[in-house]
Amino acid sequence: MALAVGSQAPDFTLKSNKMQDVKLSDLRGNNVLLLFVPLAFTQVCTGEFCSMRDALKDYEGLNCKVFGISTDSPFALNAWAEKEGYNFPLLSDFNKTVSSQYQTLYDDLMGFKGVCKRSAYVIDKEGKIRYASVSEDARKVPNFEEIKACLKQLQ
């Protein structure tokens, strides 16, 4: 179950794949897209982030900062980003605090406890959630046309 559209997005600070702190509230004034994925280097996650890499200019044109989030370590995320040429930050929620706040954790996925559900949140310039999608099916990527439509309404 996703957090409610219209509610204030929980603030957080996470380490990026470059070991830099990223704090959500520091991004006010920008729209933000958070993409939670289960596991680095897996087929569907790689496909999702490669499509985002290739479409990033579309999101930047909508005044949107994009971040990928998983419970993998920042070191694994950096290796993945370098291998695939990701041009947006990947954030490590290794301690699972943010994934818990955003209600995006599986109890069990293929025997792995506490990995992210494939999810997307659009957060507006004031920090309110404007789009939320949390999928129980790890193979189902978010609807990026709906996300873009939401971002266009925020212009």
Please name the residue that has the structure tokens 């997005």.
9
| Residue 153, φ and ψ in degrees, nearest 5 | -70, -20
* Token pair listed for 112: 């792995």
Residues 68, 119: Cα–Cα separation, whole Å: 10
Pseudo-torsion of CA 135, 119, 70, 54, nearest 10°? 120
* Token pair listed for 82: 């370098």
Rounded to whole angstroms, what are the CA distances from 132 to 4, 58, 67, 116? 7, 19, 15, 14
- Per-residue pLDDT at 153: 96
Domain chopping of the chain, boundaries:
13-21+30-153
* Token pair listed for 150: 């939401």
Residues 45, 33: Cα–Cα separation, whole Å: 16
- Per-residue pLDDT at 122: 98
- Per-residue pLDDT at 14: 98
Architecture of the CATH domain 13-21+30-153:
3-Layer(aba) Sandwich (3.40)
45 assigned to active site: yes
Q: Can you give the three-state secondary structure of 1-21, one letter per residue?
A: CCCCCCCECCCCEEEECCCCE
* Token pair listed for 44: 């569907």
Catalytic residue among 45, 64, 116, 150: 45
pTM of the model: 0.96
pLDDT along the chain (155 residues), means of 10: 92 98 97 98 97 97 97 98 98 97 94 94 98 95 97 94
In this structure, the number of other CB atoms found within 10 A of the CB of residue 14 comes to 21
